[in-house]
Structure 1
Amino acid sequence: MNKKIIIAGGGTGGHIFPAIAIANALRKMDSSIDILFIGAKGKMEMEKVPQAGYPIEGLDIAGFNRSSLLKNISLPIKLIRSFFQVRKIITDFMPDAVVGVGGYSSFPVLRYAQARGIPTFIHESNSFAGKSNMMLGKKATRVFVAGDGMEKFFPADKLMITGNPVRSTIAANAISRAKGMEFFGLDGAKKTVLATGGSLGAKGINEALDANIDLFVKNDIQLIWQTGKPYVERASEIAVENRNVWANSFITQMEYAYAAADIVISRSGAMAIAELCVVQKPAVLVPFPFAAEDHQTVNAQHLVDKQAAIMVRDSEAKEKLVRTVVALAKDEQQQAQLKANIGKLAVTNADEVIAREILKVVNENVKKA
C-alpha cells in the first residue's frame, strides 16, 4: 500500500511555500506517496496548494483576532467543529504521518493525530516558536528548526536543525536577468528594485514607496512592486502613470522577479530571509514591528551584523527606505559585498533533509507493522 502523509497549516506564503517544498521533496524520493494538505477555508492555501498539484481539505477555523475581541465569540464553536472535521479526514485518509508547518489550521490536525498515536512532525521556521507549536512539540516525533538555540521552546531530543525549505523554483532558479526583465516588460539596461512585503503585503513598505516614488523616476530606477491586496489599486494607478513601475497584488512566479532584481526590499520573516540568502541579492530589510518577540528585527539584525543586508525600521521607512535603496543602487561595491555575504548563509537542501527524516520514521513504522 502507498504511504500516506498529511501536511497541515498555512495562512501566509511563509507557511505554504515551505510546505509545498517538503511535499515536492517527499514525492521526489517516493513517487507513490499520497499527500493530502489541510488548511483553513478562505485562506490562501486553498488556492496555492491546488495550483501546486496537491489536494487540500479546508477546515472551518479562524485565528484569535487581537484587534476586535467581539469577533472571537465564535472561536470555541469553530475549534470544536474543526476537531470533528479533522477526525473525519484522518479516519478516512489514514495517514502514516502528519506534518505541521504553522498557521492555526495545523493545531487541531496535529493534536488529533497525536491522540491517535500517529507520528507527527513540526516545522518551525522562526527563531521564536509559536505557542501552538510549543504545545504540540512535547508529543511530536521530530521538530525541524532553522537554527540553534531552540531548546528553550522544544525538548532537545526532538530537535533537528535543517534550515528553512525554499521553493525549488527559486532554489534551482536558472532564469536569466534578461528573461526576468522580459517577463515584467522592463528595460534591462536600468537598475531594478523588487519590493515585496510577503504574500499579504506590507503597509509600511507600500506607504514609503508611494511617498517617494519620484525618487525612482529621478534616478531612473525601475520598480517591481508586490503590494498585497489592500494597496494594489493605489499602486496600479502609479504604474499606469510611470512605465518604470510594475505593480500587482501578488507575484506567482517569484523566480522571474528575483532574476530581474538588482536589489530587494523585503520584510524579514524567516522564509523571506531563507529565499534572499539562496538568490544572493543585496537586500534592504524592513522588519514587521508587531511580530512576536520582535523576531523579524532579530532576523534582520543577524544579517546586518554579518554585513549581509541593510535594515530600515518600519517607523523610519517613509523617510529613509527609498533614499537608502537609491544610495545602494549607486554603490556597486556595497552591492557586491552584500551579495557575497548573504550567499554564505544559504541553505538549499532543507526540504530534502526534512523529507528524508519523515520517510525514515514512516518506513521504520511500516516494517514494525
Structure 2
Amino acid sequence: MNIIVSGGGTGGHIYPAITIIRTIQQKVPDAKFLYVGTKRGLEADIIPKEGLPFTTVDIQGFERHLTADNILRAGRAMVGVAKATRIVHSFKPDVVIGTGGYVCGPILLAASLMHIPTLIQEQNVVPGITNKILSKFVTKIAAGTEEAMKHFPADKVVFTGNPIRSEVLSAQREQGAAAFGLDPKKLTVLISGGSRGARAINLAMIGVLKNAAPHPEVQFLHVTGKRGYQGVLDGLKQAGVDLASCPQLLVKPYLYNMPQAMAVADLAIFRAGATGLAELTARGIPAILIPYPYAAENHQEHNARALEEAGAARMILDRDLTPERLSSVLTELLSEPDKLRAMAKASRAMGRPQAASDIADLVLAIAKK
C-alpha cells in the first residue's frame, strides 16, 4: 500500500501527521509512505529526521489583499499544482492524507481529480480556508472536535478527535518527577507557550514566579522557548528571585520530553493550539489557556472557548494577560482542590486517546474502497 501524507508550516500540522503514519505502520507494516511539504516549513527539518521519504512543492499562502507578492505566489501555486500532479502520478498512492497547511491544497486536489481516495484531518474548532475548500473534493474529513463538524459536508465528516503521541499516555507521574528533579507528591504547574515560546506568557510568569518563590508547596515547570529563556532569567533576577535557592521553580528553554512533563502536571498554562489541547485532554489536565491572538481565523480562541465552556479550562485573552490576573486565577484554582478535580474530570471527558487509531482505520477503510 502506498500512502502520501501532506502537512506543513507548523508543528501542529506535522506532528499529527507523524502520529498517523506511525499508527498506520503498526496496522500495515509494509505500507510505503511519501511525505510532501515545502522547503520553508518545519517539515523540511523534522520529516527527514523521522526517516520518512520527503519531497517538496513550492507554494505559499495568499495575503488578504491584492499585492505584487500575491501575483508571484499565484504563479508559484500554478507550478506547485503541476508538480503535485506529477508526484501523485509517479508515486501512485492508494490514499492521500492532509493534516493542514497550504501545501495540502495542490496534493489533495490533484489526488481527488485523479479519483484517488483522500482524507483531511482537521485539528481546530474553526477550519482554515484551505480545508474548507478541499472539503468539497476529498473523500472523508476526520474532525478533531465535534464543533468543527458543522463546517463540513455531513456525509463526509467523522468525529475522531486529534491524534496524540503514544508516549503522552504511557508516561508516568513518578518518572516525570524524577526526570526533572521534582516532588511527585506536590502540586505541579506546567507552563509552555509552544515550541517557540510566547513572550506575553513569559512576561506574566516573571511576576507569577516572584509571588510563588516564598511558597515551596507548589512546583512550577516553566518552558520559555529558546528565544525567551535569557529574558526570563534576567527578569527573575531583576525581580529578586534566586532560582538556585528555589528548587520548586524550574525554568527551561525547551523540552524534548514534554510527555514526561505532562505526566507530573496538575495544572497547565498553555496557548490553545489543537495538538497541545488534545494531549492535555487525553491526560485530563485542567488548564489556563491564553490563545495566540494572531492565529489564522482566530482558531486558538475558538479552541480555548470550547474547553472553557466544557468546564475543562479557564481562558485569559492575550490582551488581558497580566501577572496579577494570572496569579489570581492560579491562586483560585490551586486553593480549591474540588474545583481542580472537576476541571480535570471535564478535561478527561473531552479527550480522545484512541483518535490516531480511529483515523488510521478510516484511512485504511477508504483506501480499500
CA distance in 2, matches of 1:189, 1:361: 47
1:325 corresponds in structure 2 to: 330
Q: Cα gap change, 1:91/1:255 in structure 2, threshold over 3 Å: closer, same or farther?
A: same
Aligned 8 A contact 1:13 1:198 in 2: no
Q: Which amino acid aligns with 1:344?
A: A
Q: Taking every aligned residue pair, what percent have the same amino acid on both sides?
A: 34
Residue 83 of structure 1: which of 77, 81, 84 is its match?
81
Aligned 8 A contact 2:272 2:290 in 1: yes
CA-to-aligned-CA distance 1:146-169 (integer Å, 9 cap, x gap): 344556532221111212111222
Q: Which amino acid aligns with 2:345?
A: A
1:30 corresponds in structure 2 to: 28
Q: Cα gap change, 1:21/1:246 in structure 2, threshold over 3 Å: closer, same or farther?
A: same
Q: Give the RMSD, CA atoms, in angstroms.
A: 2.7
Matched, 1:358 2:363: yes
CA distance in 1, matches of 2:69, 2:163: 34
CA distance in 2, matches of 1:203, 1:55: 35
Please, which runs of 5 or more residues in structure 2 have no aligned partner? none
1:233 corresponds in structure 2 to: 230
2:307 corresponds in structure 1 to: 303
CA distance in 2, matches of 1:69, 1:204: 31
Matched, 1:247 2:245: no
1:367 corresponds in structure 2 to: none
Task: Give the match's secondary structure for 1:157.
Answer: coil
2:93 corresponds in structure 1 to: 95
Residue 207 of structure 1: which of 203, 208, 217 is its match?
203
Aligned 8 A contact 2:149 2:159 in 1: no
Task: Give the match's secondary structure for 1:218.
Answer: coil
Q: Cα gap change, 1:281/1:217 in structure 2, threshold over 3 Å: closer, same or farther?
A: same
Residue 117 of structure 1: which of 109, 115, 118 is its match?
115
CA-to-aligned-CA distance 1:322-369 (integer Å, 9 cap, x gap): 3322442333222222112211221111111111121122223xxxxx
Q: Cα gap change, 1:92/1:297 in structure 2, threshold over 3 Å: closer, same or farther?
A: same
Task: Give the match's secondary structure for 2:155.
Answer: helix
Deviation of the 1:31 alpha carbon: 0.4
CA distance in 1, matches of 2:225, 2:125: 25
Q: Cα gap change, 1:232/1:91 in structure 2, threshold over 3 Å: closer, same or farther?
A: farther
2:10 corresponds in structure 1 to: 12
CA distance in 2, matches of 1:89, 1:338: 47
1:105 corresponds in structure 2 to: 103
Deviates more, 1:145-154 or 1:97-106: 145-154
Residue 339 of structure 2: which of 331, 334, 339 is its match?
334
Please, which runs of 5 or more residues in structure 1 have no aligned partner? 365-369
Deviation of the 1:62 alpha carbon: 2.8
Aligned 8 A contact 1:216 1:326 in 2: no
2:353 corresponds in structure 1 to: 348
Deviation of the 1:137 alpha carbon: 1.0
2:192 corresponds in structure 1 to: 196
Matched, 1:60 2:64: no
Matched, 1:223 2:232: no
Deviation of the 1:39 alpha carbon: 1.6
Task: Give the match's secondary structure for 1:91.
Answer: helix
Structure 1 length normalisation: TM-score?
Answer: 0.87
Matched, 1:133 2:131: yes
Task: Give the match's secondary structure for 1:118.
Answer: coil
Q: Cα gap change, 1:210/1:307 in structure 2, threshold over 3 Å: closer, same or farther?
A: same
Task: Give the match's secondary structure for 2:14.
Answer: helix
Deviation of the 1:89 alpha carbon: 2.7
Q: Cα gap change, 1:66/1:215 in structure 2, threshold over 3 Å: closer, same or farther?
A: farther
Task: Give the match's secondary structure for 1:156.
Answer: coil
Structure 2 length normalisation: TM-score?
Answer: 0.87
Aligned 8 A contact 2:97 2:119 in 1: yes
Aligned 8 A contact 1:236 1:247 in 2: no
CA distance in 2, matches of 1:117, 1:38: 19
CA-to-aligned-CA distance 1:80-114 (integer Å, 9 cap, x gap): 34334423432332211111111111112112222
CA distance in 2, matches of 1:273, 1:93: 34
